[in-house]
Structure 1
Amino acid sequence: MSIDTAPTNLTARAARIVSDMTVAERAGLLFHPMVFLDETPDLDAPSPLTGVSLRELIVDRGIRFITLGAIPAPDRVAGAIQVLQDLATTTGSRLPIVFATDPRHSFVQNDGASHRAAGVSQWPEPIGLGALADEDLVRDFARIVRGDYRAMGIRMALHPQIDLTTEPRWARQAQSFGATAPLTGRLTRAYLEGLQGDALGADSVAATVKHFPGGGPQQDGEDPHFPYGREQVYPGGRFEDHLAPFRDAIAAGAGIVMPYYGMPVGLELDGEPVEQVGFAFNRQIITGLLREKLGFEGVVISDFGLITDQVVFGKPFPARAWGVEQLSREDRTLKLLHAGVDQFGGEFDTTLVTTLVEDGRLDIARLDESARRIVQLQLRLGLIDPPPQHSAPVLGAPSDVARGLEAQSRVMTVLVNPDAPSPAHLPLTGSRRVHLQGLDASALPAGWVAAEAAAAELAIVRISAPFEPRDDYFLEAGMEQGSLDLPADLVAEIAELGKRMPVVLVVTLTRPAILTPVIADVAAVVADFGASDAAVMRALTGEIRPEGRLPFELPRSMAAVADSRPDVASDSADPLFPAGWSAL
């Protein structure tokens, strides 16, 4: 088909473009798989994620939205993407591909949530940006992300995540901004301004705000990627708190919204019980609340893998069809469309839609409604009428790297600092003989010496937030779930070290940790939210002042966590450190 490039109303243009497409091409727009990208793409090799080749996805199935998992070096991505764009724009609908990605500028490596920075500047996790609460920094960070993505050919971000971190055990807290709606809303607006600009346009990266209507209050903090974590609960009646950041995001012009996997239990809206099915399957939530009440007119993409049960790398990965597990794949597809979803994340079997149309179960008008929204997004991004080429930003520019490193130190939060001068009083000054655990000696300042415990005057111990390792399902090993208690052997080791010398404890808070058993055995405690060893030492020595405040509380015990309400911020009894705490 030829693409109409006449300057006119985008909605009308999108409708004309869709009307010229075959049913199969229209259906292809509704599917959004993930692929791994090599520097030199083999168009005919089956993907380890889908079993389908890139050529089949693009040519035979008409797919025009793809999320990138593993990628080559960032400066090689644009060339690889161009190979796929050349194929897309010369076959079928001739529409270009919109490439998307999960976050790529921080520390956590989790194939289902985020990628560790490589070849770009590295920043603290978003929860650290929440600890600093600096809107200007968040806006500038998002602008850097936008420049890097555009240089790679990526025009859609599967972030920001704006869920509230109200359940201390929840696995996804590192990618959120914190526990309160006002702060999350302010930082969300700043992030969208940086990523999309003043309005979604040809210079933007389209933001996907997730997970509507707020994914934090999971029962027992379990992750709804897996069957045991499907329930989402509101015993404190705080649904509106979790919804509030999405109101801010929609007002700020978010281009895309992603509903959560979670299945609400016992929720009522406007006096009516909400159907106990995953949010993307729920018409009350997607059409009634998001579309009609909140006025969202953009694209709704489901979270990934709601329709098809899979086995990935030998691990089972059941469809996240919570509440509708008994339905066939076709019926799940139809229910998603009826709810108001436009695009199916992680799915690639386009016959699910074409068969529904052929069988008369799906009205072509409903297919066209979503196809028009999706094409309109491409038009707004200037992908169908490519704008003049400008020089691309430099990936991993030294100034960006320096800003990211500085931010890693700035967001760190001092939880305990000795009142009186001592070897562990922060900032640490002068040359030291220091015993290190969990840090590399190469990060020490000039004049410092790494020593065995017997010869050291001070110990610096760096640990991570605890979690329960699990590995029965695909992606499960990368999710930090379960108890927040430190391992007993680690508690004993820190206690023994504390008897010999002052200990500065540095804990990486990708989620809260129960520090009560070690607090009496250490002299100082500092939290980081994703930082290199060098950034940690710059904060400990005062080269860069740690300015963060806790973005969530640190509970005193797991019993207090179990007694708290998952939808209520800072709800545990007598927390060891309250939200907002800093000892400086």
Structure 2
Amino acid sequence: MHKTLLTALLLTAPASAQPAPYLDPSLPAERRVADLLGRMTLEEKVGQLAQIDVLRLMGQGEWDRGPLNPEWMENVLARQHVGSLLSGGGNAPVPNTPAAWARMTNDLQRYAIEHSRLKIPILYGVDAVHGHNNVVGATIFPHNLGLGATFDPPLARRIGEVTARALRATGITWNFSPDADLGRDPRWGRFYETWGEDPLLASSMVAENVRGQQGDTLGPNAVAATLKHFAGYGAPIGGKDRADARLTDAELRAVHLPPFQAGLAAGVAAVMVNSGSVNGVPGHASGKLLTDVLRKNLGFTGVTISDWEDVTRLQTVYKVAPTYRDAVRLALTAGVDVSMVPHDARGFTGAVLDLVRAGEVPVSRIDEAAGRVLNLKFRLGLFERPYVDPAGAEAAVTAGRDLALRAARESVTLLATDGRTLPLGKTVKNVLVVGERARDPRSQLGGWTVGWQGLPEGESTRAITVLDGMKAVVPPGTSLAYSPTVPAKPSVDTLVVVVGEPPHAEGEADNPGLALPDTDLALLRAAVATGKPVVAVLLAGRPLVLPENVRTRLAALVMAYLPGSEGGRAIADVLYGNTNPSGRLPFTWPRSATQVPGTYDEPFPGGTPLYPFGYGLSYTTFSYSGLRATGDSITVNVTNIGKVAGAHTVLAFARPAGAASPLKLAAFGRVVLGPGEARNVSLSLPRGLFPAGGAEIRVGALQTTTEQP
């Protein structure tokens, strides 16, 4: 009998050992998804539609940071089958180190797989909007607005690559970035997260950043990128975060959709929904935006995800749903695949199950949404490689400092100069740096740095401040001193006053008057009152309105944006002439808050702006000659007629021949030239730019400002 039993076992073993098709990495993702969906229960499918914040799995209370709590992991991952987790801003492991992140995501992934009947891994998401910015000690790149000032799409791609490797090394597979919103109103608190006001510039930067994060395929060093926030979020009424945007269909198509279209063409894996509303309809309830436009018109096939708790807001804020259950139904029906709940897994999954069982949401919609999530997991290789090695996390997270320094240097924009004071160190021998922001990294790092509202008080991370940077490059034979306030009679040649905005994010960052904080403005007033030359350095995420009796008395005005962890050195290099400034404004700088919203590509309110879109000075001079245009490109000869080397961005603007409409950016490109060097620069033009009758092409600045000190 023993021999008979053994023979039977041997005969049946090969058939039972065959892996299920969904576990076979050689099969196409679509076939694996179909096989896995066919094996899943409704409850398991619904779990894929929920995303829960990691704090709900930590500590003893709802908002505790600390060790993972087995009871909550069981509730969320085992019982509710939740398919993805996230760390909201500041929701990090303890201690907040790269290795701790890797260990935490490994622990969560292991628990999810071991407690999943079908061994389904989780996705883990973060807002890594300027590097792996949630981790203490990480390399922090400039925020997007500063990167927009570089007009350098390959730089955006390289930053995407470095960021993706850092994320993947810590077990993060889903990045809620890049922001594809246009910054059409600088009062808006998320203005600094945009690439500026121009559709072409934003489209170029977004597409390359997506390619950097995802690579050609979503391989082991790539993450799923996310375009946000679809669509029209960057034009809220009054510049107030999450306010309604009033947009015509033509404006939506021509202005706000192009960056999303560019990201979709680059193969982006996910799209996050607009937290506000468009023409009175909340983004998360808009079938027009999420189904008609995004899916049918633009052809998107990836995952759509809500923003933080925005499905709930359909009931509590927008009041378009009488109950939470109705809010979930509206979002699912409109086209939201994954809901960032973020703390009530059972409430969300229970609502979805009830809707399906009541026949109000078809099972096919659940299969569609869950299938998109599973497809992404297969493409990321999570079924084959769910874990990471914590030993490699530190090197990946701290990589890219030279790249961050390069990005910050390229972004710095010189707005005004008297032609004598800068660069420092030639005729200016004794410099006094003034202001707390010069030695506090929080202002140069901005929001979304370790914490949601920026680096928390009392917490530190590695960063080179402006004072650090200036100390590192001060030339021999010159002196450098620091004071938090302006001395009554400073015995120096020049004051460098560092002012700006405190770190902030979203609605807390709204600035209706585009004003400097009172303490910073007082510093500038005191500085110009000394009679000494004053160089003002702005650390800010938007144009700020300076009183004319202060601004016109400055020797120089430098816009440094939010330049990240290497920003202090970059600023110092520009001030001392080690770097020739090449940044150009990616937005229009108004003279007063009464001129907003106002952009260069529409009739500008209240006359001319202070500084036009694309404006930026250099320590050298560039000239153009020999402009030639064909149907798909233009060529222009650029010559550096000055005495120092410099990088220069050639901007080409166009409009239909004979039209009175504003010129719009049609092409741009960077060139680096030594003194006396010339080069032909060829720029590709959008198809169809030359209709019957042709087009007017202009190369160079839109206007020349006379607002010099």
Q: Does 1:181 align with 2:199?
A: yes
Task: Specify whether residues 29 and 235 from structure 1 end up closer, same or farther in structure 2 by C-alpha distance, changes over 3 A only.
Answer: closer
Cα offset, 1:492, TM superposition:
4.6
Q: d(CA) in 2 for partners of 1:98 and 1:187?
A: 26
Gaps in structure 2 of 5+ consecutive residues = 1-18, 440-466, 619-709
Task: Specify whether residues 248 and 406 from structure 1 end up closer, same or farther in structure 2 by C-alpha distance, changes over 3 A only.
Answer: closer
Give 1:228-377 correspondences, 5 Å limit. Answer: 229=243, 231-234=244-247, 238-240=251-253, 241-265=255-279, 276-308=280-312, 323-347=318-342, 348=345, 349=347, 350-377=349-376
Greater mean alpha carbon deviation, residues 383-392 or residues 329-338: 383-392
User: Which residue number corresponds to residue 561 of structure 1?
Assistant: 596
- Please say if residues 463 and 507 of structure 1, whose CA atoms lie closer than 8 Å, have aligned partners that are also in contact: yes
Cα offset, 1:104, TM superposition:
5.6
Q: d(CA) in 1 for partners of 2:499 and 2:334?
A: 44
Task: Specify whether residues 521 and 490 from structure 1 end up closer, same or farther in structure 2 by C-alpha distance, changes over 3 A only.
Answer: farther
Cα offset, 1:451, TM superposition:
5.4
User: Which residue number corresponds to residue 458 of structure 1?
Assistant: 494
- Please say if residues 324 and 332 of structure 1, whose CA atoms lie closer than 8 Å, have aligned partners that are also in contact: no
Task: Specify whether residues 46 and 29 from structure 1 end up closer, same or farther in structure 2 by C-alpha distance, changes over 3 A only.
Answer: farther
Q: d(CA) in 1 for partners of 2:60 and 2:502?
A: 39
- Tell me the TM-score normalized by structure 1: 0.85
Q: Does 1:67 align with 2:86?
A: yes
Task: Specify whether residues 239 and 58 from structure 1 end up closer, same or farther in structure 2 by C-alpha distance, changes over 3 A only.
Answer: same
- Please say if residues 466 and 513 of structure 1, whose CA atoms lie closer than 8 Å, have aligned partners that are also in contact: no
Greater mean alpha carbon deviation, residues 156-165 or residues 449-458: 449-458
- Please say if residues 96 and 383 of structure 1, whose CA atoms lie closer than 8 Å, have aligned partners that are also in contact: yes
- Please say if residues 202 and 387 of structure 1, whose CA atoms lie closer than 8 Å, have aligned partners that are also in contact: no
Cα offset, 1:235, TM superposition:
7.0
Greater mean alpha carbon deviation, residues 478-487 or residues 337-346: 478-487
SS of aligned partner of 1:434: strand
Task: Specify whether residues 167 and 242 from structure 1 end up closer, same or farther in structure 2 by C-alpha distance, changes over 3 A only.
Answer: same
Cα offset, 1:482, TM superposition:
2.4
Q: d(CA) in 1 for partners of 2:179 and 2:274?
A: 11
- Please say if residues 539 and 546 of structure 1, whose CA atoms lie closer than 8 Å, have aligned partners that are also in contact: yes
* Residue from 12, 18, 37 that aligns with 2:37: 18
Task: Specify whether residues 434 and 244 from structure 1 end up closer, same or farther in structure 2 by C-alpha distance, changes over 3 A only.
Answer: same
Task: Specify whether residues 53 and 435 from structure 1 end up closer, same or farther in structure 2 by C-alpha distance, changes over 3 A only.
Answer: same
Task: Specify whether residues 58 and 428 from structure 1 end up closer, same or farther in structure 2 by C-alpha distance, changes over 3 A only.
Answer: farther
SS of aligned partner of 1:63: coil
Task: Specify whether residues 13 and 220 from structure 1 end up closer, same or farther in structure 2 by C-alpha distance, changes over 3 A only.
Answer: same
User: Which residue number corresponds to residue 83 of structure 1?
Assistant: 107
Q: d(CA) in 2 for partners of 1:326 and 1:206?
A: 31
Give 1:177-216 correspondences, 5 Å limit. Answer: 177-216=195-234
Q: d(CA) in 1 for partners of 2:612 and 2:249?
A: 19
Greater mean alpha carbon deviation, residues 295-304 or residues 48-57: 48-57
User: Which residue number corresponds to residue 562 of structure 2?
Assistant: 530
Matched residue type, 2:121: P
Cα offset, 1:409, TM superposition:
2.5
Cα offset, 1:18, TM superposition:
1.7
* Residue from 514, 534, 540 that aligns with 1:509: 540
Q: Does 1:436 align with 2:434?
A: yes
- Please say if residues 321 and 332 of structure 1, whose CA atoms lie closer than 8 Å, have aligned partners that are also in contact: no
- Please say if residues 170 and 221 of structure 1, whose CA atoms lie closer than 8 Å, have aligned partners that are also in contact: yes
User: Which residue number corresponds to residue 111 of structure 1?
Assistant: none
Cα offset, 1:481, TM superposition:
3.5
Task: Specify whether residues 363 and 451 from structure 1 end up closer, same or farther in structure 2 by C-alpha distance, changes over 3 A only.
Answer: closer
SS of aligned partner of 2:611: coil
Cα offset, 1:280, TM superposition:
2.1
Cα offset, 1:299, TM superposition:
0.7
Q: d(CA) in 1 for partners of 2:185 and 2:64?
A: 31
Greater mean alpha carbon deviation, residues 247-256 or residues 457-466: 457-466
Cα offset, 1:11, TM superposition:
1.7
Q: d(CA) in 1 for partners of 2:380 and 2:409?
A: 35
Cα offset, 1:367, TM superposition:
0.9
Cα offset, 1:495, TM superposition:
2.7
Task: Specify whether residues 451 and 82 from structure 1 end up closer, same or farther in structure 2 by C-alpha distance, changes over 3 A only.
Answer: closer
Task: Specify whether residues 431 and 459 from structure 1 end up closer, same or farther in structure 2 by C-alpha distance, changes over 3 A only.
Answer: same
Q: d(CA) in 1 for partners of 2:83 and 2:417?
A: 54
SS of aligned partner of 1:355: helix
SS of aligned partner of 1:307: helix
Over the residues paired in the alignment, what is the CA RMSD in angstroms?
3.0
Q: d(CA) in 1 for partners of 2:385 and 2:206?
A: 28
Q: d(CA) in 1 for partners of 2:327 and 2:380?
A: 30
Q: d(CA) in 2 for partners of 1:172 and 1:377?
A: 28
Q: d(CA) in 2 for partners of 1:166 and 1:251?
A: 23
Task: Specify whether residues 555 and 388 from structure 1 end up closer, same or farther in structure 2 by C-alpha distance, changes over 3 A only.
Answer: closer
Q: Does 1:479 align with 2:509?
A: yes
User: Which residue number corresponds to residue 401 of structure 1?
Assistant: 401
Greater mean alpha carbon deviation, residues 437-446 or residues 393-402: 393-402
- Tell me the TM-score normalized by structure 2: 0.70
SS of aligned partner of 2:395: coil
User: Which residue number corresponds to residue 496 of structure 1?
Assistant: 526
Q: d(CA) in 2 for partners of 1:200 and 1:561?
A: 41
Q: d(CA) in 2 for partners of 1:137 and 1:146?
A: 14
Cα offset, 1:96, TM superposition:
0.8
Cα offset, 1:493, TM superposition:
3.9
Q: d(CA) in 2 for partners of 1:195 and 1:367?
A: 28
Matched residue type, 2:594: A
Q: d(CA) in 1 for partners of 2:411 and 2:561?
A: 7
Q: d(CA) in 1 for partners of 2:418 and 2:249?
A: 38
Give 1:133-152 correspondences, 5 Å limit. Answer: 133-152=151-170
Q: d(CA) in 1 for partners of 2:600 and 2:336?
A: 27
Q: d(CA) in 1 for partners of 2:404 and 2:317?
A: 39
Matched residue type, 2:494: L
Cα offset, 1:14, TM superposition:
0.7
User: Which residue number corresponds to residue 181 of structure 2?
Assistant: 163
Task: Specify whether residues 393 and 118 from structure 1 end up closer, same or farther in structure 2 by C-alpha distance, changes over 3 A only.
Answer: closer
Task: Specify whether residues 485 and 98 from structure 1 end up closer, same or farther in structure 2 by C-alpha distance, changes over 3 A only.
Answer: same
- Please say if residues 104 and 117 of structure 1, whose CA atoms lie closer than 8 Å, have aligned partners that are also in contact: no
Q: d(CA) in 2 for partners of 1:155 and 1:264?
A: 31
Task: Specify whether residues 570 and 128 from structure 1 end up closer, same or farther in structure 2 by C-alpha distance, changes over 3 A only.
Answer: farther
Q: d(CA) in 1 for partners of 2:135 and 2:599?
A: 34
1:98-117 CA distances to partner (integer Å, 9 max, x unpaired)? 111102646xxxxxxx9466
Task: Specify whether residues 252 and 116 from structure 1 end up closer, same or farther in structure 2 by C-alpha distance, changes over 3 A only.
Answer: same
User: Which residue number corresponds to residue 109 of structure 1?
Assistant: none
SS of aligned partner of 2:558: strand
Cα offset, 1:461, TM superposition:
1.0
Task: Specify whether residues 461 and 354 from structure 1 end up closer, same or farther in structure 2 by C-alpha distance, changes over 3 A only.
Answer: same
Cα offset, 1:568, TM superposition:
5.5
Q: Which has the larger radius of gyration?
A: 2
Cα offset, 1:406, TM superposition:
3.0
User: Which residue number corresponds to residue 384 of structure 1?
Assistant: 383
Q: d(CA) in 1 for partners of 2:233 and 2:125?
A: 21
Task: Specify whether residues 528 and 194 from structure 1 end up closer, same or farther in structure 2 by C-alpha distance, changes over 3 A only.
Answer: same
Cα offset, 1:433, TM superposition:
3.5
Q: Does 1:417 align with 2:417?
A: yes
SS of aligned partner of 1:354: helix
1:142-173 CA distances to partner (integer Å, 9 max, x unpaired)? 11001101110101100000111111211112
Cα offset, 1:356, TM superposition:
1.3
